[in-house]
Amino acid sequence: MHFLITAGPTREPIDPVRYLSNRSSGKMGYAIAEAALEAGHQVTLLSGPVVISAPEGATLIRVETAKEMYDAVSECIPGCDVAVFCAAVADYRVETVAGEKIKKLADRLTLTLVKNPDILGSARSVFGFGGILVGFAAETTDLARHAVEKLERKQCDLLVANDVSRTDIAFDREVNEVTLFFRNGSQENLPLSSKREIAHTLITRIESLR
């Protein structure tokens, strides 16, 4: 199967030298790309700025902003069988990006933020994607409730939920612990293990949805 995987954070510019971003390292998405390749699949890896290198054999497309990621997904998704949206896309961007570096003059500075397009939420409704759709949810409270709500709202087949209130897992760590929520209502906990092991199990579960 041909996998489209989004990974890493996005960067939303404020001025030529500053940006808004988040703590995503891209490790989970890159591990999924590697596991998919090892299982014999074709992989297009659409990545925000990260310091890790892409697995050999993946087609890497680099983007910076959510808008660029949206455009790249819209272009790539028609040829794919599976879409895994692992990227920590910034929910908001600065409305007006300053053309020059903002000077430290005023005591207060207000930035107006506007909502970014929801890429995963557009997969079915805007891009018309009919393949296997996998989303992620990073939550600090009510993990299961938010995960199930997100699975339905974004019309996913599978949603991978992460408790990011825990500092021992997820962001920028080598290990993770996730719960899988399937469209048929079943769920499965993948206990604390390396992102590589989680990625391999995830690929097996995705293959069984084929």
What are the residue numbers of the active site?
22
What's the min distance (Å) between Cβ of 7 and ligand C5P? 9
The yes or no reply on residue 135 touching ligand C5P (CB under 6 A) is yes
The yes or no reply on residue 29 touching ligand C5P (CB under 6 A) is no
- Residues whose CB is less than 8 angstroms from the CB of residue 165 and which lie 6 or more positions away in sequence, other chains included: 139, 140, 141
The yes or no reply on residue 66 touching ligand C5P (CB under 6 A) is yes
Closer residue to ligand C5P in complex, CB, 104/112: 112
CB 190 within 8 A of CB 180: yes
Give the dihedral sign, CA 180/43/133/13: positive
The yes or no reply on residue 63 touching ligand C5P (CB under 6 A) is no
Number of Cα atoms under 13 Å in the Cβ half of residue 100: 2
Rounded distance between C-alpha atoms, residue 46 and residue 60, angstroms: 6
Find the part of the chain contacting ligand C5P (CB under 6 A) among 12-20, 82-90, 178-186, 193-201: 82-90
Largest CA distance in the chain: 58
Rounded distance between C-alpha atoms, residue 115 and residue 108, angstroms: 23
Q: Which of 116, 157, 181, 202 binds ligand C5P (CB under 6 A)?
A: 116
The yes or no reply on residue 171 touching ligand C5P (CB under 6 A) is no
Closer residue to ligand C5P in complex, CB, 66/80: 66
Q: Which residues bind ligand C5P (CB under 6 A)?
A: 6, 66, 85-87, 89, 116, 118-120, 135-137, 150
